[in-house]
Amino acid sequence: MLGAIIGDIVGSRFEWHNHKSKDFDFFSRKCFFTDDTIMTVAVAAAILDANGSYDNLGELAVSAMQEIGRPYPDCGYGGRFFGWMYSDDPQPYNSFGNGAAMRVSPCGFAARDLDEARLLSRKVTEVTHNHPEGLKGAEATATAIFLARQGESLSDIRAHIDAHYYPMDFTLDGIRDSYVFNETCQETVPQALMAVFESNGFEDAIRNAISIGGDSDTVAAIAGGLAEAHYGVPASLARQTMLYLDQNLIEICMEFEGKFQ
């Protein structure tokens, strides 16, 4: 899941100031973690709490998201999710926002088989994003990550996504000029995955994701999860990432990475 966090941090300064090029400083003093990181860590914490038995993963996800997320009210939560976060009776709200996909990467890393990747994805997603498109965006992301962990080639993963989730009949160069900010799964997940399918390394995948613009931190977070599963994260980037996180987030990251990487 560290790849998703890196994508979020690198993309943070470009969300409202898109940079449609791959030429930029990867990390800078203007970078910061957003809700994408916090909710990814929360999903990881829920999976750790489940300890391999996922019957109540949904309940654990709600608890972890609220417990870990509430101390960061200004991190960029969307309006409906903000209300859910601070509710005493949080209920799903039929969302198909890309928040479903940006936080789901731990499911792809923890799953023991493809069916479990889909199951974990659904359980942590339906507590908020229970619209079919929200569930699909999360499942496509978790599935791609799981397949990459199994050693499937990027071309085979792309074919799987094309056959089961989204038409992958475009190129980044073909959409870069026209792609604009969009918070839906259906207009974020395919583009984020394509950033990896067209890449030649972990950092290149993140640069691809930033270069198309849009909801840059979330596009890069989704891409980063898959890029990590396929390429791994360079140790130098992992070390730099930790400089942006607080101790609580670091501890959960380290525990999850130690167990599932």
The predicted structure's pLDDT at residue 229: 98
Tokens of 150: 């199994």
| Cα separation, 214 vs 96, whole angstroms | 17
What is the average per-residue pLDDT within 141-148? 98
Alpha helices in the chain (DSSP H): 2-11, 35-50, 57-69, 79-85, 99-102, 105-110, 114-125, 132-149, 154-164, 172-175, 189-197, 202-211, 216-231, 235-242, 247-260
pTM of the model: 0.98
| Cα separation, 215 vs 123, whole angstroms | 25
For tokens 């989204």, the residue is 166
The predicted structure's pLDDT at residue 158: 98
Per-residue model confidence as pLDDT tens digits over 17-73: 999 999 999 999 999 999 999 999 999 999 999 999 999 999 999 999 999 999 999
Given a cut of 80, is residue 261 above it in pLDDT?
A: no
What mean pLDDT, rounded, does the chain reach? 97
Q: How many residues does the chain have?
A: 261
Per-residue model confidence as pLDDT tens digits over 99-142: 999 999 999 999 999 999 999 999 999 999 999 999 999 999 99
